[in-house]
Amino acid sequence: MTTKQIAVLVTNGVEDIELTSPRQALVDAGYEPILIGTQAGELIYGKKGTTFKLDRGIDDTRPSEYQALFIPGGYSPDHLRADSRFVDFTSTFFDKQKPVFAICHGPQLFITGGLAHGKTMTAYKTVQPDLQYAGAEVKDQAVVDDGPLITSRNPDDLPAFNAAIVGYLQVVPVV
């Protein structure tokens, strides 16, 4: 299956701009971000009050349907990592070496899934020590590209993050 769809794992408490800005950058580059949460059609709310409608429920989708995975930050990743379905979904992208993009608290799903060990990445400053304890090499910089894994720290880094994820997708074959 050829796809330009990007899986976006998200729930309530997402950092609004960490979802809206990369999502718009992906759309502008010709990709289709698909919001995946607990149930298709559910309305979720960002930390700043933005309302988002989920496109698909986690039980109704498979990683093979997507070219890449994007995990925005805020409180959303902490909620998602408590549900093994989201952790397993994320693990499949790592297992298949498909592109994974995460900003801020997004890498919390990697810690829970045992996926951080041996990876080079960044995250929000309070998540960085957790990543180190989980065996990651952590760099405190705007974007860390450990292709196919690209991570970023916070909303201030969004211009660099957006450019990095779109740039990476444009050189990786669509599968």
DSSP assignment string, 28-55: HTT-EEEEEESSTT-EEE-TTS-EEE-S
* Lookup result for tokens 């693990």: 91
User: Would you mind telling me the total number of residues written for the chain in this entry?
Assistant: 175
| Candidate list 17, 35, 104, 109, residue with the active-site label | 104
Q: How many CA atoms lie within 13 A of 82 on its CB side?
A: 6
DSSP assignment string, 81-105: TTSHHHHHHHHHHHHTT--EEEETT
Q: Judge whether 104 counts as a catalytic residue.
A: yes
**Do 63 and 73 form a contact (C-beta atoms < 8 A)?**
no
**Do 12 and 43 form a contact (C-beta atoms < 8 A)?**
no
CA nearest 151: which of 112, 110, 117, 114? Answer: 110
CA nearest 120: which of 100, 147, 99? Answer: 147
Catalytic residue positions, numbered: 104
